[in-house]
Chains A and B, each alone.
Chain A
Amino acid sequence: MSNKYAPLTRFLRQQEASRITLSFQELEEVLGFSLPASAWKYPAWWANSSGGQSQVKSWREAGWETRDVDLRGRRVTFVRVSGEPVAPVEEKASRPAPAPAAPKPRPAAEWAGRGTANAAALVPAAAIDVARLPPGVRRLLEATGRPAAEAAAAILSEALAVERQRLLRALADVRTRTNRPGAFDLLAVMKRK
């Protein structure tokens, strides 16, 4: 059976750096689904020693381990520990030492351009210097009672959700104005057949 956390394995294998910190929200983007509640509550969910858990397999098979799990800040750091897939902890003692790290493959693709819809996931904690923000913005962040980056991400997410709904409503309006509604063969229109 395939591991539902396999997207994380692929993501980590594509990294050139040997250390990467992801917010839980960014990690959910990589995975394509929400982290379970236990991931948000319990450090044990992230423990490398839980070799049988599917999420642990996902990073260990890529040759990475977790470090600095920050439940309060909702982020986790992954550190590369091997150039080769890593065996579960309980098997490690009986295996030979891993080979020296091979050169890491470059990512399959590099991307240009990003939609605003993903902006909330891109708020880097270290990039927000609250003291330098305009007073109004600072008060807005502080009123949330949350860390600045988390609050900014939440505010952005809410704003983007509203904008997303506006765009989808506008597209629905366009649909209602199309002539001959419901009759289009889109594949033919797009010349795929």
Chain B
Amino acid sequence: MLVVDGTILLALAVDTPHSAAAEALAEENAALAAPQAALAEALEGARTLMQEGHLAQADFEQLPGLWTPLLSVLAADAPLARRAAHFAAAYELTMTAALALALAEAKGAPLATLDERLAHAALDALGTDRVRQVRGEAGEAES
């Protein structure tokens, strides 16, 4: 299993320097997982791009149907939310990012993200072998 956050989902849907690496992660990992909040966050980002005229409404509306079959979309219970709140406070993360970190910790899975702050938090909380920070113009994924 590989836990992904909203940045990876959005990079799959809009063209960025990181999209190729995000796609490679999705191809290589049949068992992707994300918290429900990450899906909502990615959709909110896509909605912003649609409102700004960068993404067609029809494409925006089909994203849920393209993302969700690729993922195990997981709901958090109170212990996970508490753990995420701790991470959010300790590492100054958004709660959505912290939920992805807490999910990776709870599942014993690596976490993939484009968010440098989240990646650093994950390095500290999970260890170097559990982080896939996607970065670089070439779109490589680094662990």
A142–B50 alpha-carbon span in the complex (Å): 50
CB distance from B37 to the nearest CB of A (A): 12
With A29-B1, A160-B30, A189-B49 in contact, is A179–B10 under 8 Å at CB?
no
With A115-B73, A117-B31, A118-B30 in contact, is A186–B108 under 8 Å at CB?
no
Interface size band for B: 35 or more
List, sorted by A's number, 15 A–B pairs whose CB atoms are closer than 8 Å: A7-B108, A111-B72, A111-B74, A113-B74, A115-B72, A116-B69, A164-B70, A170-B66, A178-B49, A181-B15, A182-B15, A184-B15, A184-B49, A189-B10, A190-B6
A68 contacts the other chain (CB 8 A): no
A176 contacts the other chain (CB 8 A): yes
With a cutoff of 8 Å between Cβ atoms, the chain A residues found around residue B32 in the complex are 115, 117
0/1 per residue, B20-52, Cβ < 8 Å to A? 000100110011110010000110110011000
Interface residues of A (CB under 8 A from B): 2, 4, 6-7, 10-11, 29-30, 32, 107-118, 121, 157, 160-161, 163-165, 167-168, 170-172, 174-182, 184, 186-187, 189-192
0/1 per residue, B39-79, Cβ < 8 Å to A? 00110110011000111100100110011111111111101
With a cutoff of 8 Å between Cβ atoms, the chain B residues found around residue A181 in the complex are 15
B140 contacts the other chain (CB 8 A): no
With A179-B54, A184-B16 in contact, is A117–B70 under 8 Å at CB?
yes
A112–B117 alpha-carbon span in the complex (Å): 28
A164–B69 alpha-carbon span in the complex (Å): 8
CB distance from B128 to the nearest CB of A (A): 9
Contact of B16 among A164, A186, A192 (CB under 8 A): A186
